[in-house]
């Protein structure tokens, strides 16, 4: 499970009896004695009870005790308990019988592992009912069954889409519980949903609604994220939800601008996936990227900035003082000013076999949802910058070994000194310099890597359970082609850097973070020659808002 804790629902005691008067009497006596700590649910037929159990299973609730009448016309109590056990195998089982049916109750002890049978009538309950249920509840609690008040994901360890869904929920700080489809509880979940393992991944909401291989937009809509801007016109539109974009949203909204932030996946950006940032001002003990992103998001919402997820900007149009942002779904919004904070993405590793095994042992970044499964594994990391170093330190807690594969002759050129020291002192981490991944191989998932030494050309085959890739930084700016000036690598030019491109249309010089389009600013890693550090991105995001105010005052 990941995400914040939530109050668990009460465990359930379920009674089923086709005689309405008996059903009400059982529920009344149970509610009187156990209602404070347990929810009492009653049904008047076996099929109705099974339907209710499937809904409870999908919602993540749990059943402590079944109390079923033996003689029911559609389905006997024993038949009901046989099927109910498939959904809640840890629940305790009681059969209500008449004196003439005691032989059936004795047989049920062997058929459904019956815990107890009660003769009707059970009056007084203080003597005949409650002591029995008390003992069964004690045994149930000792078995460790608990409700799961979160979204459930049923998938496969080496299913790429399962990994993507887990990563999406984790990065958006949506709590979930992960079930393997080939394990008993995952199979019970699929059975309750009427599905099988050919439909993976399956996501089941807290309300018990199953979704088969949902898109990120479907997940966001169903799980309560904001996906649609509430207005058509804003003072400020921020594109990108990394540190620069979140800082811009905080400062824009706090200083009175009607502000919306548009993020295509999850707030936090690449920094949000960092296991620990130790050189960020004000956090001497370090802070995880997820924690930093969550605090920034809540701070932006505190000042009434709108945060929109799973919306991808595909075009920027300039119509005089109005800037129009168009989205992939055909909708658009207008603004007086825009801050581009789209960040960068990891470059794709051009090694044979990587494409086929992505999500099946090969991952870009190191999402906590996957990193938590690396216990006693030999894992490899490609990259030599801070993000790779932070991942190495984090993974080394549980992995048997961590190997950093670095193209250059050392780490000094791209990694902070404090991280290099930590890596050198960690006995589980090995650094292989002047090395590249030539090929990845495995049957359905990563099993082996072929590493080539750049100096000698020698190739070595190694066993590898996981490969995490942190190479380079590709700017996400293709959608701005022919609109704003960019350098040869696609990073956005701004301020003084615009002198060489002759794209600036006004007599006044551009503001420091202003692009070739007046009123459109850039902040963070997507800016040409940026520092590629979290603190620098935050500073640029806040500074860009100050320049937006200056631009609006001039307009």
Q: Would you say residue 6 has pLDDT above 60?
A: no
Segment holding 349, helix H or strand E: none
On whether residue 402 sits in a domain, the answer given is yes
Q: Do 126 and 34 reside in the same domain of the chain?
A: yes
Give the residue from 435, 458, 457, 438 showing the smallest Cα distance to 449.
Answer: 438
On whether residue 73 sits in a domain, the answer given is yes
Q: What is the chain's mean pLDDT, rounded?
A: 92
On whether residue 116 sits in a domain, the answer given is yes
Give the dihedral sign, CA 350/353/359/362.
Answer: negative
Position 8 scores a pLDDT of 76
Q: How many domains, in total, are found in the chain?
A: 4
- Domain hosting 175: range is 151-222
Q: Do 456 and 516 reside in the same domain of the chain?
A: no
Q: Do 186 and 246 reside in the same domain of the chain?
A: no
Q: How many whole angstroms separate alpha carbon 475 and alpha carbon 494?
A: 15
Question: In this structure, what CATH number is given to the domain that contains residue 447?
Answer: 3.50.50.60
Q: Do 51 and 135 reside in the same domain of the chain?
A: yes
On whether residue 2 sits in a domain, the answer given is no
Question: In this structure, what CATH number is given to the domain that contains residue 32?
Answer: 3.40.50.2300
Q: Would you say residue 3 has pLDDT above 50?
A: no
For the chain, the maximum distance between any two Cα atoms, rounded to a whole number of angstroms, is: 101
Q: Do 479 and 449 reside in the same domain of the chain?
A: no
Q: Evaluate whether 529 touches 488 at the Cβ level (below 8 Å).
A: no
Query: Which residue matches tokens 């979940």?
Result: 189
Structural domain ending residue among the three candidates 73, 108, 143? 143
On whether residue 442 sits in a domain, the answer given is yes
> Which of 186-190, 274-278, 306-310 is predicted with the least confidence, judged by mean pLDDT?
274-278
Give pLDDT tens digits for 51-66.
Answer: 999 999 999 999 999 9
The pLDDT of 521-525, averaged and rounded, is: 97
Which runs of consecutive H residues, i.e. helices, occur in 201-288? 216-222, 243-254
Give pLDDT tens digits for 192-209.
Answer: 999 998 889 999 999 999
Q: What is the CA radius of gyration of the chain?
A: 29
The pLDDT of 71-75, averaged and rounded, is: 89
Structural domain ending residue among the three candidates 449, 469, 489? 469
Segment holding 319, helix H or strand E: strand 313-319
Q: Do 27 and 139 reside in the same domain of the chain?
A: yes
Q: Do 341 and 478 reside in the same domain of the chain?
A: yes
Q: Evaluate whether 340 touches 516 at the Cβ level (below 8 Å).
A: no
Within 10 Å of residue 114's Cβ, how many Cβ atoms? 21
Q: Do 91 and 178 reside in the same domain of the chain?
A: no
pTM, entire model: 0.84
- Tokens coding 329: 């779904």
Question: In this structure, what CATH number is given to the domain that contains residue 176?
Answer: 3.40.30.10
Q: How many whole angstroms separate alpha carbon 324 and alpha carbon 335?
A: 6
On whether residue 3 sits in a domain, the answer given is no
On whether residue 498 sits in a domain, the answer given is yes
Q: How many whole angstroms separate alpha carbon 463 and alpha carbon 441?
A: 10
Distances (CA, A) of 290 to 5, 172, 359, 456, 534: 16, 9, 21, 41, 13
Structural domain ending residue among the three candidates 428, 454, 469? 469
Phi and psi of 501, rounded to 5°?
-105, -10
The pLDDT of 419-439, averaged and rounded, is: 97
Q: Do 119 and 19 reside in the same domain of the chain?
A: yes
Segment holding 14, helix H or strand E: strand 12-16
The pLDDT of 373-382, averaged and rounded, is: 94
Q: Do 341 and 462 reside in the same domain of the chain?
A: no
Q: At what angle do helices 20-34 and 130-143 cross, to 10 degrees?
A: 70
Q: Do 426 and 498 reside in the same domain of the chain?
A: no
Q: Do 139 and 19 reside in the same domain of the chain?
A: yes
> Which of 264-273, 411-420, 541-550 is predicted with the least confidence, judged by mean pLDDT?
264-273
On whether residue 227 sits in a domain, the answer given is no
């Amino acid at each position: 499970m990941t995400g914040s804790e939530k109050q668990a629902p009460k465990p359930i005691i379920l009674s089923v009896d086709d005689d309405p008067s008996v059903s009400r009497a059982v529920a009344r006596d149970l509610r009187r004695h156990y209602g404070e700590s347990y929810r009492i649910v009653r049904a008047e037929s076996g099929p109705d009870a099974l339907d209710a159990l499937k809904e409870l299973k999908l919602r993540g609730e749990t059943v402590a005790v079944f109390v079923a009448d033996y003689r029911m016309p559609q389905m006997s109590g024993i038949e009901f308990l046989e099927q109910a056990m498939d959904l809640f195998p840890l629940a305790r089982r009681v059969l209500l019988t008449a004196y003439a049916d005691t032989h059936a109750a004795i047989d049920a002890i062997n058929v459904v592992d019956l815990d107890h049978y009660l003769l009707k009538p059970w009056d007084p309950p203080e003597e005949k009912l409650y002591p029995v249920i008390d003992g069964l509840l004690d045994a149930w609690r000792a078995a460790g069954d608990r409700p799961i008040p979160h979204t459930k994901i049923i998938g496969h360890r080496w299913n790429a889409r399962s990994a993507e869904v887990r990563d999406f929920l984790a990065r958006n700080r949506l709590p979930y519980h992960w079930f393997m489809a080939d394990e008993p509880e995952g199979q019970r979940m699929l059975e309750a949903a009427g599905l099988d393992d050919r439909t993976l991944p399956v996501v089941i909401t807290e309300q018990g609604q199953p979704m088969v291989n949902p898109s990120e937009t479907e997940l966001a809509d169903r799980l309560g994220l904001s996906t649609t801007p509430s207005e058509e016109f804003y003072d400020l539109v921020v594109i990108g939800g990394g540190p620069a974009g979140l800082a811009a949203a905080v400062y824009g909204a706090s200083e009175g601008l009607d502000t919306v932030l548009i993020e295509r996946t999850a707030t936090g950006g690449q920094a949000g996936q960092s296991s620990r940032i130790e050189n960020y001002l004000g956090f001497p003990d370090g802070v995880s990227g997820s924690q930093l992103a969550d605090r920034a998001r809540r701070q932006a919402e505190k000042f009434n900035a709108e945060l929109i997820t799973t919306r991808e900007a595909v075009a920027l149009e300039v119509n005089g003082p109005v800037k129009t942002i168009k989205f992939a779904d055909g909708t658009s919004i207008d603004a007086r000013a825009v801050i581009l904070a789209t960040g960068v993405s990891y470059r794709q590793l051009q090694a044979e076999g990587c494409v086929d095994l992505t999500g099946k042992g090969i991952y870009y970044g190191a999402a906590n949802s996957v990193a938590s499964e690396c216990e006693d594994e030999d894992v490899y990391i490609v990259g030599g910058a801070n993000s790779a170093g932070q991942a190495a330190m984090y993974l080394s807690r549980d992995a048997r070994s961590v190997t950093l594969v670095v193209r250059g002759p050392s780490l000094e050129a791209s990694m902070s000194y404090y991280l290099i020291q930590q890596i050198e002192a960690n006995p589980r981490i090995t650094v292989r310099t002047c090395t590249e991944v030539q090929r990845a191989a495995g049957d359905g998932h990563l099993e082996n890597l072929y590493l080539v030494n750049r100096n000698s050309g020698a190739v070595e085959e190694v066993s590898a359970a996981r490969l995490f890739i942190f190479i380079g930084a590709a700017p996400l700016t293709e959608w701005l082609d022919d609109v704003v000036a960019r350098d040869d690598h696609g990073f956005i030019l701004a301020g003084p850097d615009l002198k060489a491109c002759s794209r600036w249309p006004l007599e006044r010089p551009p503001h420091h973070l202003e692009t070739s389009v007046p009123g459109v600013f850039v902040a963070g890693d997507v800016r040409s020659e940026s520092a590629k550090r979290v603190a620098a991105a935050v500073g640029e995001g806040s500074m860009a808002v100050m320049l937006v105010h200056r631009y609006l005052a001039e307009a």
